[in-house]
Amino acid sequence: MGDRCDQCRNRLRGQGQQTATRTLCDACYREFSGLVAGYVTGGTVENAISLAGWAKRLGRKKD
Ligand SMILES: [Zn+2]
């Protein structure tokens, strides 16, 4: 537990990359970061859902 990428299930080298909810290997983290930063289409359903939540948070500035 904690030493595998949550996306591709490969073994991590070192600590891996922490996101809000997951631990990713460098490759998956780069992909994840790119998707979030660039809002690129063609990601997985899971990415789309997290992107939707992220976009919603940005659009809603009540806090
Ligand atoms: Zn990975």
Ligand 1 centroid–CA 57 distance in Å is 26
Q: Provide φ and ψ at 40, rounded to 5°.
A: -80, 140
DSSP 56: H
Separation of alpha carbons 25 and 36, rounded Å: 16
Residue bearing the bigger pLDDT, 56 or 36: 56
Report pLDDT for 31: 85
pTM of the model: 0.50
CA of 2 to the centre of ligand 1 (A): 12
The SS3 assignment for 23 reads strand
Q: Could you list the residue range(s) of the whole structural domain that residue 45 is in? A: 1-63
| Predicted local distance difference test score (pLDDT) of residue 35 | 67
User: Number of structural domains, the chain?
Assistant: 1
Please give the distance, rounded to the nearest whole angstrom, from the Cα atom of residue 52 to the centre of ligand 1.
21
Bridge partners (DSSP) of residue 11 are 4
